[in-house]
């Protein structure tokens, strides 16, 4: 009969390691994003057209 307790703990440990890796990489990517220069922002104004719809640039 399979040892379900051992299998459970093995899967649980692997999922914990995977989640820790994902969180670490996410934090590293957030730090890279913050360290990068300010993004170029562009303001787009929308105004109603004569036909009642809105239009942009």
Residue range 23-29: average pLDDT? Answer: 97
The confidence band for 25, taking pLDDT boundaries of 50, 70 and 90, is very high
Residue range 23-39: average pLDDT? Answer: 89
**pLDDT digit string (tens) for 38-50?**
767 888 888 877 7
Q: How many residues does the chain have?
A: 57
Residue span of the structural domain in which 11 resides = 4-55
Lowest mean pLDDT across 5-9, 26-30, 36-40: 36-40
Mean pLDDT of the chain: 87
Nearest in space to 44 (alpha carbons), one of 30, 29, 54: 54
Q: Number of folded domains in the chain?
A: 1
Which one has a higher pLDDT value, 22 or 47? 22
């Amino acid at each position: 009969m399979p040892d379900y307790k051992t299998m459970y703990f093995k899967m649980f440990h692997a999922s914990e390691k995977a989640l820790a890796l994902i969180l670490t990489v996410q934090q590293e990517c957030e730090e890279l994003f913050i360290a990068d220069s300010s993004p170029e922002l562009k303001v787009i104004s929308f105004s109603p057209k004569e036909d009642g719809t809105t239009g942009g640039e």
